Amino acid sequence: MNFEQGAMESGAHIVLPNNPELVEKLEEKLAEYEQRRDRSFKAPEEPEQMDVLCKIAVLSALLKEGSVNTELIENELMERYKTGFNKEIFRNACGVIKGYAERAGEGLVGGTGL
């Protein structure tokens, strides 16, 4: 897992960068996350799996829509995973995706980077 300094607050927005090279890297990162999800036999409530599921939800919405309201995604994931959903992991995942979108991952600690 990556760690962003200070997890994002609920309702924050993340905007897709206006940089085709960075967008391409974000698309590659989404493919990496999807591979991790598909290779794992862990239950969704396991922290590592929840981390990947949250990052996929946020990043795929960002790439599809151009911007995301994290509160809407948080609500969708809470409904889908019920008690398995972890708000802290979700907010950290949002911070990581925001770090990738705004700073190409500069300032993130851990993980595989872009």
pLDDT tier, 109 (very low <50, low <70, confident <90, very high otherwise): confident
Task: Indicate whether this model's pTM tops 0.85.
Answer: yes
Query: Per the structure block, which two tokens stand in for 74?
Result: 């948080």
Q: Which residue has the higher pLDDT, 1 or 37?
A: 37
| DSSP-assigned beta bridge partners for residue 67 | 15
Count other Cβ atoms within 10 Å, centred on residue 89.
21
Strands of 1-114 (E only): list them: 13-15, 67-69
Using an 8 Å Cβ cutoff, are 97 and 43 in contact? no
pLDDT digits (tens, 9 = 90+) for 46-75: 999 999 999 999 999 999 999 999 999 999
* pLDDT, mean of residues 26-37: 97
Quick check: 28 pLDDT over 50? yes
pLDDT score recorded for residue 10: 54
- Is residue 16 helix, strand or coil? coil
By C-alpha distance, which of 114, 90, 94 is closest to 24?
A: 114
Q: CA 101, 48, 110 angle in degrees (round to 5)?
A: 50
Amino acid code (one letter) for 82: K
pLDDT digits (tens, 9 = 90+) for 6-15: 455 555 899 9
Proportion of the chain above pLDDT 70, given as a percent: 90
Residue carrying the six token digits 């994290």: 70
